[in-house]
Amino acid sequence: MQTILVFALLGLGSGAVIAAVALGVVLSWRGSGSFNLAAGSSVMVAGYMFWAFRTGFFHFKLGTWPAVIATLAFMVVYAVLIELLAVRPLRAASPLAKLVASLGVLLLTQALVQVIFGTSPLASPSVLPDSVVVVGGVPVPVAQLILAGGVSFLAAVLWCIYRFTRFGVATRASSENEVAAVLAGLDPNSISVANSILANLTAGAVGIAAASIVGISATTIPLLIVQALAAALFARFTSFGIACAAGMAIGVGESLIFYASTQSWFPSHKGVALSGVQQLVVFVLIVVALWWRGSSLPQRGELRERSLPRVPKQDQLARRMLPIVAACAIALVLLPSEFRQAVVTGLVGTVLCLSFIVIMGYVGQLSVVQLALAGIAGFGVARMSSVYGIGFPLGPLIAVAVALVVGVVVGVSALRVRGVTLVVVTLAAAVAIEKFVFANPNWGGGATGVTVQQPTLFGIKFGSDAGFRGLDGSLPSPVFGLCALAVTAALYAFVANLRRGELGRRMLAVRSNERAAAAAGVNVRALKVCAFAISSILAGVAGVLFAYDFGTVSASMFDVMTALSVIASVYVLGVTVVQGAVLAGFGMVGAVVPLILQKWVLPRDRVGLYVQLLIGAGLLVQLRFYPDGILIASATKRERRRAERLQLRATSAAQPMSEQRAVA
C-alpha cells in the first residue's frame, strides 16, 4: 500500500508538467481559438533556455534567479514571435489551418532546439530543493510536491484572472462570440497575444522547475501534448481546474501503471513487462472523454472562415503520369545503389502520402494514424514471414487486411468527431500503437526490430535481393524498385481517378458541407468509414513496401514525430492533389531529396533535423501566403493565365460569340 502511495506521489511531478501543458492548450483555445499542438514545445524551449542561461552556453553564466527572470523574459518574446508568425496571419482561417500552423511551430521549434543544443538530453541544474519529506510514512522528494502545488496554484491564478479581471471577462467573451466581442470594442489581436503570453509564462515557469525532475529532452517533452490534450478534452478546453486535475491524474495514473508493471501479475513476456499500457490508457481516456464530454468543442462565433485547400480536377492523367513513370524506371536501372534505394523509398513514401490525400485532401479529416497503420502492416508482414513462415503473397495480404481493420476501428471510434478533435483521437491512437504494438517485443519489434524475408513467387525472387542488380551490380535490386513503381503508379492513378468519379464527388461533398451532403442523399457516416478504409489500405500497402524496401522494420520508422512531419510536408506541397503526394514522398527521410541534401549540402547526421526545420518553416510560410498548398497555388496561377488568354481570344474573336454569351 505504501509503495503505491510512493508511486502515486512520484507521478505528481510528470503529472504537473502534463497539467501545465494542458493549461497552455486551454489558454490558446480560449485566447485565439487555435488548437495548439505546440503547447508542449513551450515547456521544452523554456527548459533549454534556462539550462543555457545557467550553464553558460551563451558564453555568460547567470545565477538561479537571474536565469529564471531571463528565461521568463525570453518566453514573452517567444510568445509574441509565435503570435506574429503563426497565429495572427491565420486569424480568419479555419480551425484546421490554425492547428496545422501549430504543427509547424512544433516541428520548427523541436528541430531548432536540437540543431542549437544538440540531440542528447541534458541534465539541468535544479531550482527546487532536493530534500525529501515523509508523507504517510513514505519518503517523497519535496520537488515533486512543490511542482504539483505550484501548477495547481497557477491554475487557480488563471481561474481568478478569467473570473474577476476585465481582461479575463474580455477573453471569455471573445472566445464565445468573436463578432459580438468586436462590436463591444474589444480587440481580438491583443486578447490573443495576452493569452499567448500567459500560456508561455506558465509553460516557462514549469519548464524551469521541471527540468531537473523530468530532464530536458526535445523528444519527450513536446509529445506530452498527447496526454495534455486528453486532459484538455476532459476540461472541454475551457476549465482550468479540470484541465489541471486531469493532467495530474494522468501523470499519477501513468506512474501507477509503471508500478503495476513491476508486479508479478502484470502481463509480461520473457521477463519483460508489457510496454505501452500507459499510452493505450491515454487513448482509451480520450475516446471516453469524447463520448462523455460531448463530441464537439465549444463553438466560437468567428468573423469568417476560410475553407480547406481547393481540390483541382485531375485531367489528362495518363499523359502526365507516363513521363514520370518512365523516368523513375530508367533511374532505377541506371542510378547507383544508394540513389536506387532512395528512389524506391520515395515511391513507397508516395503511396503513404496518397493515403493522406484521400483522408485529408478529399474528405477533410486530419488523421495522424496513417503512418502507424503502415507500421502495423510492415510489422505484420515481417513477423508473418519470420515467425509464422507465411510469405508472399498471403503475408502482405493479411498484413494490409489487419491495417484496414485497425484503420476502420479508429475511424469508427472517431465518427462522432470531426475536424480538430479527430486529430486528438488519431494522435493518441498513433502513440498507443507505436508504444503498445511496435515497441513491444511480444508482437512488435522491441528494441532491435524484425527482419523481413524478401518476396518470392514460384521460386522467382523479386524483392531487393533479386538476381538482376542494376548497372553497378550491387544491392538493392532494381527489380523490387520496378515492382514498387508499378504498385505506386497504379495507386496514384486510382487516387487521381477517385477525384473524378462518383465516390470522390461524394467525398468532396462531405468535405464541403456535411449537412448539404446529407440532404443530397449522401450517407455521411458510411462515406467517412469508406474513406478511412481506402486510406488504411493505402497506408497498409505502403507499410508492406517499406518492410521489403528496408529489409527490417523497427518502431522508430513509424513514430509519431515522423508521422507529423509527413503530414506537414504533404500539407505544404498540396494535400488535395496526387502530385503533392509524389513530392512529399520523395522528400521523406531516406528518399531522394534528403539524400541529395545529405550528400552535398548538409552535415550528414543532421539531415533529418534540417528537413524537419524546413518543413516546419515551410508550413508557416505556406499557410500565410499559399493557403491551398504550393502545388495548387502554382496550378491556380496557370489556370488564371489560361483563362485570361481565353478571354483575350474571345474578346478579339467575332461578335456572335459575345452575343451568345449575353443571351446565356
Partner 1 sequence: MTTPALSVDRLAAGYDNGPVLHGVSLSVAPGEVVALLGPNGAGKSTTLRAISGLIRVMDGEIRLAGSNLASLSPSARARAGIVHVPEDRGLFRGLTVAEHLRLGPRKEKLDADAAYEYFPALKPIAGRMAGVLSGGEQQMLAMGRALGRTPRVLLLDELSLGLAPVIVEGLLPVVRAYATEHQCAVLLVEQHVHLALGIADRAYLMANGVSSSSYDAHVLRNDMTLVQASYLGGPEWASEFKDETRLPFIGEEVHE
Partner 2 sequence: MTAPALVAREITVRYGGVRAVSNVTLEVPEGKIIGLIGPNGAGKTTLVDAITGFVPCDGRVEIAGEDVTRLKPHARARRGLGRTWQAVELFDDLSVAENVAVAIGTPSPWATIKELFVKPTLEKARVGEALDSVGIGHLFDAMPTELSEGQRKLVGIARAFAGSPRVVCLDEPAAGLDTTETHELGMQLRGLTSGGTSMLLIDHDIGFVFGACDHVVVVEFGTVIAEGPPHEIYANERVIEAYLGSSAIPTEDPGARR
Taking the complex as a whole, the smallest distance from the CB of residue 503 to partner 2 amounts, in Å, to: 5
SS3 assignment, position 575: coil
The yes or no reply on residue 187 touching partner 1 (CB under 8 A) is: yes
Indicate the helix (H) or strand (E) that contains 580: helix 578-586
Classify residue 256 as exposed, middle or buried by CB count within 10 Å of its CB (0-12, 13-18, 19+): middle
3-state helix, strand, coil in the chain (%, to 5): 70, 5, 25
The yes or no reply on residue 302 touching partner 1 (CB under 8 A) is: no
Alpha-carbon dihedral of residues 477, 478, 484, 486, nearest 10 degrees? -150
DSSP string, 285-354: HHHHHHHHH-SSPPP-B-S----SPP-----SHHHHHHHHHHHHHHHHHHS-HHHHHHHHHHHHHHHHHH
Taking the complex as a whole, the smallest distance from the CB of residue 84 to partner 1 amounts, in Å, to: 17
Q: Do 139 and 8 meet the contact criterion of CB atoms below 8 Å apart?
A: no
Instruction: Kindly identify the residues of this chain, within the stretch 303-332, that bind partner 1 according to CB under 8 A.
Output: 303
What Å distances lie between residue 106 and 110, 122, 205, 423, 619, CA to CA?
A: 6, 20, 19, 15, 11
By C-beta, is 188 or 396 nearer to partner 1?
A: 188
Say which entry of partner 2, partner 1, none residue 173 contacts (CB below 5 to 8 A, set by partner kind): partner 1
Alpha-carbon dihedral of residues 238, 244, 249, 250, nearest 10 degrees? 70
Sign of CA dihedral 35, 38, 43, 49: negative
Q: Which residues of the shown chain bind partner 2 in the complex (CB under 8 A)?
A: 307-308, 310-311, 313, 494, 497-498, 500-503, 505-506, 508-509, 511-513, 515-524, 664
By C-beta, is 308 or 542 nearer to partner 2?
A: 308
Rounded Cα–Cα distance for residues 172 and 229 (Å): 20
Q: State the angle between helix axes of 420-433 and 95-117 in degrees (0 to 180), rounded to the nearest 10.
A: 40
Q: Which three cell numbers stand for residue 567?
A: 503530414
Piece in contact with partner 1 (CB under 8 A), picked from 164-172, 371-379, 437-445, 493-501:
164-172
The yes or no reply on residue 459 touching partner 1 (CB under 8 A) is: no
Among residues 21, 53, 76, the alpha carbon closest in space to that of 220 is found at 21
Give the max Cα distance, the chain: 98
Rounded Cα–Cα distance for residues 411 and 408 (Å): 5
Say which entry of partner 2, partner 1, none residue 172 contacts (CB below 5 to 8 A, set by partner kind): partner 1
Taking the complex as a whole, the smallest distance from the CB of residue 302 to partner 1 amounts, in Å, to: 12
Say which entry of partner 1, partner 2, none residue 183 contacts (CB below 5 to 8 A, set by partner kind): partner 1
Piece in contact with partner 1 (CB under 8 A), picked from 140-148, 179-187, 529-537, 593-601:
179-187
Say which entry of partner 1, partner 2, none residue 311 contacts (CB below 5 to 8 A, set by partner kind): partner 2
Piece in contact with partner 1 (CB under 8 A), picked from 111-119, 171-179, 217-225, 348-356:
171-179
The yes or no reply on residue 137 touching partner 1 (CB under 8 A) is: no
The yes or no reply on residue 183 touching partner 1 (CB under 8 A) is: yes
Taking the complex as a whole, the smallest distance from the CB of residue 435 to partner 1 amounts, in Å, to: 38
Say which entry of partner 2, partner 1, none residue 506 contacts (CB below 5 to 8 A, set by partner kind): partner 2
Which of 9, 21, 68, 186 lies at the binding interface for partner 1 (CB under 8 A)?
A: 186
By C-beta, is 183 or 318 nearer to partner 1?
A: 183
Rounded Cα–Cα distance for residues 570 and 567 (Å): 5
Say which entry of partner 2, partner 1, none residue 606 contacts (CB below 5 to 8 A, set by partner kind): none
SS3 assignment, position 447: coil
By C-beta, is 172 or 461 nearer to partner 1?
A: 172
Half-sphere exposure of residue 564, counting CA atoms within 13 Å on the CB side? 31
> What's the DSSP call for residue 598?
I
Taking the complex as a whole, the smallest distance from the CB of residue 92 to partner 2 amounts, in Å, to: 16
Rounded Cα–Cα distance for residues 92 and 307 (Å): 10
The yes or no reply on residue 552 touching partner 1 (CB under 8 A) is: no
Q: Which amino acid is at 77?
A: V
Q: Which three cell numbers stand for residue 71?
A: 528565461
> What's the DSSP call for residue 120?
S
Say which entry of partner 2, partner 1, none residue 508 contacts (CB below 5 to 8 A, set by partner kind): partner 2
By C-beta, is 173 or 617 nearer to partner 1?
A: 173
Q: Which amino acid is at 565?
A: S
The yes or no reply on residue 172 touching partner 1 (CB under 8 A) is: yes
The yes or no reply on residue 176 touching partner 1 (CB under 8 A) is: yes
Render the burial of 189-202: b for 16+ CB within 10 Å, e for the rest.
Answer: eebbbbbbbbbbbb
By C-beta, is 19 or 186 nearer to partner 1?
A: 186
By C-beta, is 69 or 303 nearer to partner 1?
A: 303
Say which entry of partner 2, partner 1, none residue 435 contacts (CB below 5 to 8 A, set by partner kind): none
The yes or no reply on residue 182 touching partner 1 (CB under 8 A) is: yes
By C-beta, is 270 or 661 nearer to partner 2?
A: 661
By C-beta, is 167 or 339 nearer to partner 1?
A: 167
Taking the complex as a whole, the smallest distance from the CB of residue 516 to partner 2 amounts, in Å, to: 4
Cα angle for residues 286, 287, 289 (degrees, 5° grid): 60
Piece in contact with partner 1 (CB under 8 A), picked from 73-81, 172-180, 589-597, 604-612:
172-180
Half-sphere exposure of residue 214, counting CA atoms within 13 Å on the CB side? 30
Taking the complex as a whole, the smallest distance from the CB of residue 165 to partner 1 amounts, in Å, to: 10
Residue whose entry in the numeric block shows the C-alpha cell 451532403: 517
Rounded Cα–Cα distance for residues 246 and 15 (Å): 9
Piece in contact with partner 1 (CB under 8 A), picked from 83-91, 162-170, 216-224, 371-379:
162-170
Rounded Cα–Cα distance for residues 568 and 587 (Å): 11
Taking the complex as a whole, the smallest distance from the CB of residue 247 to partner 1 amounts, in Å, to: 23
Q: Which three cell numbers stand for residue 337?
A: 545503389
Say which entry of partner 2, partner 1, none residue 177 contacts (CB below 5 to 8 A, set by partner kind): partner 1
Piece in contact with partner 1 (CB under 8 A), picked from 174-182, 229-237, 370-378, 503-511:
174-182
User: What does the per-residue mask of binding to partner 1 show for 254-293, with x meaning CB under 8 A?
Assistant: ----------------------------------------
Sign of CA dihedral 551, 555, 560, 562: negative
Which of 123, 135, 184, 457 lies at the binding interface for partner 1 (CB under 8 A)?
A: 184
The yes or no reply on residue 170 touching partner 1 (CB under 8 A) is: yes
Which of 173, 321, 324, 617 lies at the binding interface for partner 1 (CB under 8 A)?
A: 173
Interface positions with partner 1 (CB under 8 A): 166, 169-170, 172-173, 176-177, 179-188, 303
